[in-house]
Chain A
Amino acid sequence: MSDDTKKPVTIGRRGLLKGLGAGATALALPTLWLPNKAYAQTSGRGSVEHLIYIRLGGGFRFTTAFNADVDGDFNPFGSAGQRAPGTEWGVGSLLEQATWLEGDEGLPRVELGMQRVTDFTNEICVLPCVDHEPFSARADGNHGTGLERFLTGFVGGNTSFLSYLNYGLREKVAEAARQGETLLPAFSLGESGMALGAGVYAGYRPPVLDGSGFERFGFDPDSTLPAWAVNIAGNLDSRLRAKLHPGLRTGVEAYQQTREATRAYGRIFRDPILRVNATSEEAVDGISNRELVTMLGDDGTGREVVLALRLFHFGCPAVFLNQGFYDFHSDEADGLPGEMDQANRLLSGLRTALKRMQHPKGGTYWDKTLVVLGSEFGRTAGGNKFNSANGSDHSSDLATRWMSMPMMGGIIDQASKGGRRLGETRASDLKAMGKVYSYRSVLKTLMDLLGADHSTVFPADNPLEDLFL
């Protein structure tokens, strides 16, 4: 009759170290890979090792950047004067912003190989019409529910994308553990909404890390505490557990287990390469933290991206982070170019860094990484260039509806989709002229490319084979 339904959710070492997924098996034993026909999958299943998923925070006016060949009311900033050869998607003039390449300050970045985004738009594939609910009568332009959809797939969704991903990779992680390797899970940098998990997914919630590093893990109880203190600490927990009613021990046991597990993970978390604030000169994977910070920036988001790249070194499959704040209900004309400047720097810096970084499994990180940008919805000015406050809003129309999501990385190159546009909108009114993809399909595609088991995720939505056609 014991009925404690509210047991603490535990991401214990055992949970995190469980299993190697089918995708990873395929990578390890490619000749033995037999696709699982029980559920839909893409031709690129398991071909990506790492994902950087960046949310342009607050709702992004996609038509100003990634679906820019539209009327002025949708893109008051205009299209880019030039774009890389072979680019068919609408490149906004805002993607030309690159103050970080200018002057003496920009010189190191030029020398490191960074370019304007408009110089490599032919390496980026854009899905102009990604929609929360393709069968819905209108867009969801509400911050709360729009973001719920973005992070979990549904309104009121109780499991986030990264929790699904960690769950889907459980077998891969467990197999690595059997081989004596500790693989880090997917991380959410600063966004707790990306760490929801219910039911079987509860134990696979990604760690949420605020700040840009693991400085908080600098404390090492093993090496700093005298033995008698370690003894007292351990005995306190053991005595508490023993004293408790048997039905109430779960939480304390979980705490004891995770405290033990922090030792294994602590060794990773205390690794100097995760000290992205230290800007070390030591090259790891062919690049130093100083070079990465030079490329990606010394601000919070820049360091988060640096940290993401370093987490990948320890087997982390995916990192989610927020960039900028695009909820420009006012002063968008002045504010948006500055925010885009930062976003452009991340795109350019990531491209350059990933191409330089040598992956432990061979090849470059670029070959094995996918970079995706999204936002909870698009933005509208209600048929004008800007609203009355010189900004834009979000409501129920097509401008709000379409999330024109860009993707870049080795898999896009390999699929010959660089510069391509999968879908199209009419310039005058944004009516969809091509394919409309459900946002859940996009998330499922990302899981598929990472080789995660998605058989229990979004059953009505299939991953996008169009990327490989």
Chain B
Amino acid sequence: MNRLLTRVFTTLMTLAVACSGDKGFDPEQLAVGPGGLVGNGDPLTPGDFAGGDDVLPAPREVTPPDDTRPPDCDGACVSYCNATSLQNPVNRGLCRSLWGVGLSHQPINHPEACRRLFVDVLGRLPTAEEADATCTGGWGATVKRLMDSQEFIFINQRRAADKFLYSNEVVNIQAIYDMDRLVEKLYRGKVPYDLFAAVVSAHPVLTRRHADPGDKVESLFRLFLGRPPFEHEKADMARIYRPWHSGYYDHPQLGRMPDAYLKFPCLTEDKKAVDPIRKGECTSVLWGYHELVFVPDLRAATDRQLNQLTMWNGLLSPEEWAQVQLPGRVLATELAFWERAVDDVLELYLGYELSPKVPEVRAELVRWLLEHQGDIRSVHYAVLTSAAYLQSAYGDTATSYRWTHGPMKQMDAEVWIDSMARNTGYTTTGCDHRISQPELLLRSSSIAAYRVLQSSRWILDEEGRIEQSYANLARTLGGCPENIIGGRFRVVSILTTGTQLAFVGDLCNPTMDADVRGAAIERLLPAGVEPGRAVDQELAGQIATHQYRELLGRPPSAEELTEAREAGAQCALDRCGAEQFARPLCFALLSSAERLFY
């Protein structure tokens, strides 16, 4: 009987779609999933956050602590910090471990700060001119301007792909696109962080990736609490993950894809009512009484492998989605959830864990985030405009307290490659974090899948093959992860360094090999300098000044300028032309550690 009803229902659905005026498959509108149900209104806040231009206090005049133990902020210290007019929550929290106890922060210069901000917020290094033009006016306004850009959204979408390990081998690509859209809404301030977590907790990107209910709980805890669940937590929450089943969805255009389905446990034998005895197996009681049992209706169909009724997640109603998003809502009631949210942002921008060292920063940021209705942008803004972020990484400090000097991080592979290309005018292709295994789409032999690839960031050549050179390079360096296992990595190894040197060699072409498609010489020489012009010390200085600004984003120091002039003199001994000087110099600059760390 059920099978008959299912057929009737399927037929009706098909007719409904056929009569609805659906214009067919659109690869640009691929996203399907629960992310489409939320964040469709205005942003939670206008995005004009306070504390972007705090005037930082002078250190209190006391003997600063040595670094053998954590600083102790006594009553006078607390009073001193309370008397400051700091609005930035990170600065407010930091005061009791920094200025209030007599320590100083490490002042930063404008190019260093702007360079760091560009990489963190836009995902690339600026040229000196670009930095001068962009990082103008107040720092808070600059940060807001960059955070409003599409590049900020994109880089956070890529970070989310790394975090949630998007893999189109494991998860329906439509769900991945939906998750990507949800992340955009998060960073446009349209979805509060707790709602984001709730949607993620039942999103196919999570539920289809992990087969076992316990694995889903483990993943959720690691993602949003930063720790694995205790056994009793895992066992309890796993009960409300019991309905999920990893199945396959036959998309009419894209073919067979892995996707999440719902099963119907904890019902009576006839599957028509909740079993009063077994419903405990589908009920979480650790965080309050949460029962999650569904009774099948016409939307359910028999899975031949399971020999059970299942229902495709795409048929869930908004109310049912809200029900299955229970695990995320449960976690959001925990203070640790909000603490982890701010800790993630702190670690992203600082490169180390500040919260365990200065817990007041975490407390202030959590309060700040809740005051801003869970708009995660407020935390990004607060950290990017804080003294913890705006400190120099250069120079020694009186103590080694980590928060008294600035961050120093290694660039992601894509940032390194893209910046190289942009600074030299070199043409590269790319990879698409939403489609970690593009070859799977090609293998499906579907025109629709091909169109998805065409509209993605992957580049197809004239014969329809995927251009993989960028991905191969990036994967060797830890980027463009396939995310089946592991994911992005940052490593300094012989292989990565050798690969980087070879790439820079191709880009700068220091040997002037005619077969190498290097960067255009015009980008490596100051305007008006002919490639064949004979190099002397003066011209070498001009070329070096140009390249330091273009390639390293800063002017050369006096020592570096002298060194370049001397190099020009040596080069001139061999009747060297401007190009013969510029290309090896390009290699020397671009292969430096300064291009890898920021």
A208–B588 touching, CB < 8 Å: no
24 A-B residue pairs with CB within 8 Å: A1-B402, A2-B402, A8-B490, A8-B492, A10-B491, A11-B491, A12-B493, A142-B209, A144-B167, A144-B209, A144-B210, A144-B485, A195-B489, A210-B475, A219-B502, A228-B566, A233-B592, A236-B592, A236-B593, A251-B410, A262-B497, A265-B494, A329-B248, A382-B304
Interfacial chain B residues near A37, Cβ < 8 Å: none
Q: Is A419 an interface residue (CB 8 A)?
A: no
Contact of A254 among B218, B401, B492 (CB under 8 A): B492
- Nearest-neighbour CB distance to chain A for B42, whole angstroms, equals 37
**A10 and B210 contact, CB distance less than 8 A:** no
Contacts of A147 in B (CB 8 A): 484-485
Is the Cβ of A265 less than 8 Å from the Cβ of B215? Answer: no
A192 with B211, Cβ < 8 A, contacts A8-B490, A144-B167, A205-B493 known: no
B215 and A228 form a contact (CB under 8 A): no
Q: Is the CB of A9 within 8 A of B491?
A: yes
Contact with B along A226-238 (1 / 0, CB 8 A): 1111111101110
Q: How far is the CA of A232 from the CA of B560 in the complex (A)?
A: 8
Is the CB of B170 closer than 8 A to any CB of chain A? yes
Count of chain A residues with a beta carbon within 8 Å of a chain B beta carbon: 89
Question: Which one of A112-120, A241-249, A277-285 is at the interface?
Answer: A241-249
Question: Which residues 547-598 of B sit at the A interface, judged by CB distance below 8 A?
Answer: 559-560, 563-564, 566-567, 570-571, 574, 584-585, 587-589, 591-594, 596-597
Is B280 interfacial (CB-CB < 8 Å)?
A: no
Contacts of A231 in B (CB 8 A): 563, 567
Question: When each residue 376-409 of chain A gets 1 if its CB lies under 8 Å from chain B and 0 otherwise, what string results?
Answer: 0000101000011101010100000000000000
Q: Chain A residue with minimal CB distance to B496?
A: A258
CA distance A141 to B394 in the complex (A): 51
Inter-chain pairs besides A142-B210, A226-B584, 8 sampled, C-beta below 8 Å = A1-B402, A152-B485, A218-B502, A225-B588, A232-B588, A233-B591, A237-B592, A269-B498
Instruction: Tell me the bound Cα distance from A193 to B584 in angstroms.
Output: 36
Most interface-central of B256, B400, B490, B493 (chain A CB within 10 A): B493
B495 and A207 contact, CB distance less than 8 A: yes
A11 to B493, CA, bound (A): 5
A193 touches B476 (CB 8 A): no
CA separation between A258 and B495, bound complex, in Å?
Answer: 9
Residue among B68, B211, B215, B492 with most chain A CB within 10 A: B492
Is A209's CB within 8 Å of the partner chain B?
A: yes
Contact between B215 and A155 (Cβ–Cβ < 8 Å)?
yes
Q: Give B258's nearest chain A residue, CB to CB.
A: A143
Query: Which of chain B's residues have a CB closer than 8 A to the CB of A58?
Result: 169
Size bracket, chain B contacts: 35 or more
**Nearest Cβ distance between residue A248 and chain B, in whole angstroms?**
4
The segment out of B48-56, B135-143, B420-428, B504-512 that lies at the interface is B504-512
Which listed residue, B211, B498, B503, B589, touches A142 by the CB 8 Å rule? B211
Chain B CB within 10 Å, residue with most, of A210, A219, A231:
A219
In angstroms, Cα B482 to Cα A150, docked, is 16
- Chain B residues near A142 (CB, 8 Å)? 170, 209-212, 246
Q: Which of B155-206 contact A (CB under 8 A)?
A: 165, 167, 169-170
B residues less than 8 Å from A192 (CB atoms): 475, 478, 481-482, 486, 489
Q: Is A424 an interface residue (CB 8 A)?
A: no
Complexed CA–CA distance, A361 and B76 (Å): 75
Nearest-CB distance from B323 to chain A (Å)? 24
Report chain A residues within 8 Å CB of B439: 325
A252 to B218, CA, bound (A): 36
The yes or no answer to B351 lying at the interface (CB within 8 A) is yes
B593 and A251 within 8 A (CB)? yes
Partner of A228 from B471, B497, B567 at Cβ < 8 Å = B567
Q: Please tell me if A355 contacts chain B, counting CB pairs below 8 Å.
A: no
* Cross-chain contact B395 with A243 (CB below 8 angstroms): yes
| Residues in A139-167 with C-beta less than 8 Å from chain B | 140-145, 147-148, 151-152, 155-156, 160
Task: Tell whether, in the assembled complex, residue B588 and residue A330 are in contact, meaning their CB atoms are under 8 Å apart.
Answer: no
Cα-based distance from A393 to B306 in the complex (angstroms): 12
Q: Say yes or no: is A211 at the interface (Cβ < 8 Å to chain B).
A: yes
Alpha-carbon separation in the docked complex, A246 to B585 (Å): 28
Which of B499-538 touch A at CB < 8 Å? 499, 501-503, 505-506, 510-511
Bound-state CA distance A232–B561 (Å) is 11
Give Cα A388 to B248, complex, Å.
Answer: 11
Taking CB atoms, residues of chain A closer than 8 Å to B596 are 251, 255
| A143 CA to B501 CA, complexed, in Å | 35
* CA–CA, A329 and B226, complex, Å: 35
Smallest CB gap from B596: residue in A: A255
Instruction: Name the residue of chain B whose CB is nearest to the CB of A156.
Output: B218
Q: Pick from A143, A190, A232, A248: contact of B405, CB below 8 A.
A: A248
Q: Report the nearest A residue to B250, measured CB to CB.
A: A389
Please indicate which of the listed interface residues B306, B473, B489 has the most CB atoms of chain A within 10 Å of its own CB: B489
Q: Which residues of A contact B478 (CB under 8 A)?
A: 192
Q: Which residues of B contact A229 (CB under 8 A)?
A: 510, 567, 584-585, 587-588
Are A388 and B493 in contact, CB atoms less than 8 angstroms apart?
no
Bound state CA distance, A348 and B211, in angstroms? 37
Q: Contacts A144-B165, A225-B510; is A2 near B211 (CB within 8 Å)?
A: no
Q: Tell me, in angstroms, the Cα distance from A235 to B406 when the chains sit together.
A: 23
Shortest beta-carbon distance, B103 to chain A, in Å?
A: 12
Residue among B70, B396, B439, B486 with most chain A CB within 10 A = B486
| Bound CA–CA A393/B259 (angstroms) | 13
Pair B494/A193 contact, Cβ less than 8 Å: no
B592 touches A247 (CB 8 A): no
CA distance A190 to B106 in the complex (A): 43
| Given the contacts A1-B68, A142-B246, A210-B475, A226 and B494 also touching, CB distance less than 8 Å | no
Report how far A196 CA is from B587 CA in the complex, Å.
31
Please, which residue of chain B has its CB at the minimum distance from the CB of A11?
B493
3 A-B pairs with the lowest CB-CB distances in the bound complex, closest first: A193-B485, A219-B505, A142-B211
- Cα distance A220–B212 in the bound complex, in angstroms: 50
Q: Which residues of B contact A272 (CB under 8 A)?
A: none
- Distance (whole angstroms) from the CB of A271 to the closest CB of chain B: 14
A1 near B399 (CB under 8 angstroms)?
Answer: yes
Cβ of A329 and Cβ of B169 under 8 Å apart? no
Q: Does A327 contact B (CB under 8 A)?
A: yes
B150 at interface, CB cutoff 8 A: no
Query: In the complex, which residues 210-225 of chain A have their Cβ closer than 8 Å to any Cβ of chain B?
Result: 210-211, 216-219, 221, 224-225
Q: In the complex the two chains form, what is the Cα distance from A151 to B396 in whole Å?
A: 43
Decide if A5 touches B352 in the complex (CB within 8 Å).
yes
Question: Do B399 and A240 touch across chains, with their CB atoms under 8 A apart?
Answer: no
Minimum Cβ distance to chain B for residue A1 (Å)? 4
Report the nearest B residue to A142, measured CB to CB.
Answer: B211
Residue A102 is within 8 A (CB to CB) of chain B in the complex: no
**Is A416's beta carbon under 8 Å from chain B?**
no
